[in-house]
């Protein structure tokens, strides 16, 4: 749901029915005690709407998709809209060349709750201008549409300048106060200024849907099957397939037969870092719904064993469904809270530990903002500190399960240095019997995907 998609949706004001639905949905969303995960919230809301108005929902599927796309854009640019409304209200006359807002000082005081104070029509006016530009046909129902549009032009001229970091971040849906963290990432990864700018811009553009081929299905055959089944797909030189639209993936025969899985490109590369051999034993500590578990197990020809654990049992139920569809039989699941070492299953204890232990740790999920726009507004220093402590706890309790000459793989879906390279440094300083083999930031900005991190360490 990138900005290009939004240019094809109904105007927020030119279509009365659409604007009424959008404004109503926005009020519902902001009435929540805290901003929920938007994709799950929309699924729940659509189920309720479907139950009430089955025929209407069936007949307006395209409009429902447009509504979802608009809400994602509203969440993405909610701080930007707050800034515009604030600056517009305090500036009686906008003189060209003047600074319309001290972005850094304003951001330091800004809180998410301020978006609830903005009249809904005003909010969506700013969002639509951000998406489509100030030269579009203006909504005459907004009394001061013309002066607002002129103000937006001046504001935009100051914001959309890559050499002005705080303003450029705000223009691209990111908080200016995050710039030092982004600079730290750029320095550690050796990004050029252009790569950092590209990364910032990528955060308001959805990445394609990446697919992983399994069950010994030839990649080119899988690609051709998807094309024939109506999915718009591309294939990279190294055989990675992505989808950009068309028929839904889950409705295709090749998906239902278990020959493909939806899995982000960076996530696939984390699973590949677990370079397991047939017959070896693997522990995926924080398996969740099992994307990486299934990827690892699918390379083992149902030999050896993959133990998948998670704090939440309901997530493991989804993993079980995925392994069944993929015809994988060497995965075992049970709950593990991460607050004490794992009691090793008998056959694992006999060889004194696992060959591979993957700690795909709970993290800030900063690397998934492109598809989880709401997550950026839950990103803060306090939560990061708590997550860093939790990551260290899980690593500490995972260590006893690694056999001699075995490997510990640490991964996150975050770009923050504090959750990645700094954690690896801490771990090696406290576990002298491990040696770092590699550590890599994956995905954006070098690839069109989420941003993730993986480090491979071997026990001496």
Give CA–CA dist 214/260, Å, rounded: 6
pLDDT band at residue 414 using 50, 70 and 90 as cut-offs: very high
- What's the mean pLDDT in 119-124? 94
Give CA–CA dist 79/250, Å, rounded: 34
- What's the mean pLDDT in 323-345? 93
- What's the mean pLDDT in 120-144? 81
User: Which tokens hold the place of 196?
Assistant: 């950092």
Residue 158 or residue 200, greater confidence? 200
Residue 460 or residue 100, greater confidence? 460
pLDDT band at residue 201 using 50, 70 and 90 as cut-offs: very high
User: Does residue 46 sit in the same domain as residue 94?
Assistant: yes
Helices (H), 235-350: 253-256, 265-273, 291-298, 313-325, 346-350
Average pLDDT, the chain: 89
**DSSP run (H or E) holding 332:** strand 331-335
Q: How many CB atoms lie within 10 A of CB 385?
A: 11
User: Does residue 336 sit in the same domain as residue 445?
Assistant: yes
CATH number for the domain harbouring residue 239: 3.30.70.1170
The residue segments making up the domain with residue 24 are: 3-202
CATH number for the domain harbouring residue 288: 3.40.50.150
Query: Which of 89-98, 206-215, 327-336 is least confident?
Result: 89-98
For residues 375 and 365, the answer to whether their CB atoms sit within 8 Å is yes
Helices (H), 77-192: 78-90, 103-109, 120-132, 145-159, 165-171, 179-189
Residue 268 or residue 206, greater confidence? 268
User: Does residue 47 sit in the same domain as residue 191?
Assistant: yes
- What's the mean pLDDT in 331-355? 93
pLDDT higher than 50, residue 57: no
User: Does residue 228 sit in the same domain as residue 283?
Assistant: no
Q: How many CB atoms lie within 10 A of CB 356?
A: 24
User: Does residue 159 sit in the same domain as residue 275?
Assistant: no
User: Does residue 181 sit in the same domain as residue 325?
Assistant: no
pLDDT higher than 60, residue 52: no
Residue 379 or residue 12, greater confidence? 379
pLDDT given for residue 404 in this prediction: 97
pLDDT higher than 80, residue 448: yes
pLDDT higher than 90, residue 67: no
**DSSP run (H or E) holding 213:** strand 209-213
User: Does residue 245 sit in the same domain as residue 108?
Assistant: no
User: Does residue 154 sit in the same domain as residue 216?
Assistant: no
pLDDT higher than 90, residue 391: yes
Answer with the one of 156, 186, 202 that is the final residue of a domain: 202
pLDDT given for residue 132 in this prediction: 83
Q: What is the pTM of this model?
A: 0.92
Give CA–CA dist 34/66, Å, rounded: 24
Cα first-last separation, the chain: 46
pLDDT higher than 50, residue 352: yes
The domain tally of the chain equals: 3
pLDDT given for residue 46 in this prediction: 73
Sequence-distant (6+) residues with CB within 8 A of 100 are 87, 91, 94, 151, 154, 155, 158
pLDDT given for residue 98 in this prediction: 57
In 3D, which of 404, 399, 402 has the Cα closest to residue 426? 399
Sequence-distant (6+) residues with CB within 8 A of 77 are 126, 127, 130, 131, 173, 204
User: Does residue 197 sit in the same domain as residue 280?
Assistant: no
Bridge partners (DSSP) of residue 259 are: none
Give CA–CA dist 173/72, Å, rounded: 12
Q: pLDDT for 285-327, tens place per residue? A: 999 999 999 999 999 989 999 999 999 888 899 999 999 999 9
pLDDT given for residue 206 in this prediction: 86
Share of the chain above pLDDT 90, in %: 73
User: Which tokens hold the place of 296?
Assistant: 């690892």
- What's the mean pLDDT in 181-203? 97
For residues 278 and 304, the answer to whether their CB atoms sit within 8 Å is yes
User: Does residue 287 sit in the same domain as residue 419?
Assistant: yes
Torsion sign (Cα): 290, 350, 395, 446: negative
Give CA–CA dist 45/63, Å, rounded: 15
User: Does residue 95 sit in the same domain as residue 186?
Assistant: yes
User: Does residue 11 sit in the same domain as residue 39?
Assistant: yes
Helices (H) and strands (E) in the chain, counts: 20, 11
pLDDT given for residue 54 in this prediction: 45
Antiparallel, parallel or unpaired: β 354-360 and 281-284: parallel
- What's the mean pLDDT in 252-279? 95
User: Which tokens hold the place of 289?
Assistant: 């719904």
């Amino acid at each position: 749901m990138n900005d290009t998609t939004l240019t094809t949706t109904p105007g927020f004001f030119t279509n009365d029915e659409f604007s009424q639905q959008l404004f109503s949905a926005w009020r519902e969303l902001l009435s929540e005690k805290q901003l929920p995960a938007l994709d799950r919230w929309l699924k729940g809301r659509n189920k309720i709407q479907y139950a009430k108005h089955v025929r209407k929902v069936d007949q307006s599927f395209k409009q429902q998709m447009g509504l979802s796309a608009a809400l994602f854009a509203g969440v993405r640019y909610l701080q930007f809209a707050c800034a515009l409304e604030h600056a517009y209200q305090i500036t009686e006359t906008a003189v060209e060349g003047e600074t319309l807002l001290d972005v850094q000082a304003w951001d330091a005081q800004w809180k998410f709750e301020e978006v609830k104070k903005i009249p809904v029509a005003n909010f969506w006016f700013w969002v639509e201008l951000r998406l489509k530009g100030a030269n579009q046909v203006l909504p005459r129902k907004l009394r001061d549409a013309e002066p607002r549009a002129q103000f937006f032009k001046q504001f935009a001229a100051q914001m959309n300048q890559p050499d002005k970091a705080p303003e450029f971040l705000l223009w691209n849906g990111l908080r200016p106060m995050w710039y030092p963290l982004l600079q730290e990432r750029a320095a550690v990864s050796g990004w050029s200024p252009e790569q950092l700018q590209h990364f910032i811009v990528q955060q308001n553009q959805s990445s394609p849907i990446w697919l992983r081929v399994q069950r010994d299905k030839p990649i080119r055959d899988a690609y051709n099957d998807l094309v024939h089944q109506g999915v718009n797909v591309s294939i990279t030189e190294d055989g990675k397939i992505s989808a950009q639209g068309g028929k839904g993936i889950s409705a295709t025969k090749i998906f239902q037969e278990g020959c493909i899985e939806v899995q982000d490109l960076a996530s696939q590369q984390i699973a590949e870092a677990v370079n397991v051999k047939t017959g070896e034993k693997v522990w995926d500590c924080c398996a969740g719904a099992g994307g990486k578990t299934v990827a690892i197990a699918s390379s083992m020809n149902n030999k050896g064993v993959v133990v998948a654990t998670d704090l939440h049992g309901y997530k493991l139920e989804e993993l079980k469904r995925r392994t069944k569809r993929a015809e994988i039989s060497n995965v075992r699941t049970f709950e593990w809270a991460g607050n004490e070492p794992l009691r090793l299953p008998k056959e694992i204890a006999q060889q004194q530990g696992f060959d591979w232990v993957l700690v795909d740790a709970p993290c800030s999920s900063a690397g998934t903002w492109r598809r989880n726009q709401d997550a950026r507004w839950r990103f803060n220093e306090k939560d990061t500190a708590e997550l860093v402590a939790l990551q260290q706890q899980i690593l500490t309790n995972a260590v006893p399960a690694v056999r001699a000459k075995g490997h510990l793989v640490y991964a996150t879906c975050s770009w923050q240095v504090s959750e990645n390279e700094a954690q690896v440094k801490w771990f090696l300083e406290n576990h002298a019997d491990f040696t770092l083999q590699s550590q890599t930031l994956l995905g954006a900005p070098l690839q069109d995907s989420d941003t993730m991190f993986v480090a491979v360490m071997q026990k001496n």
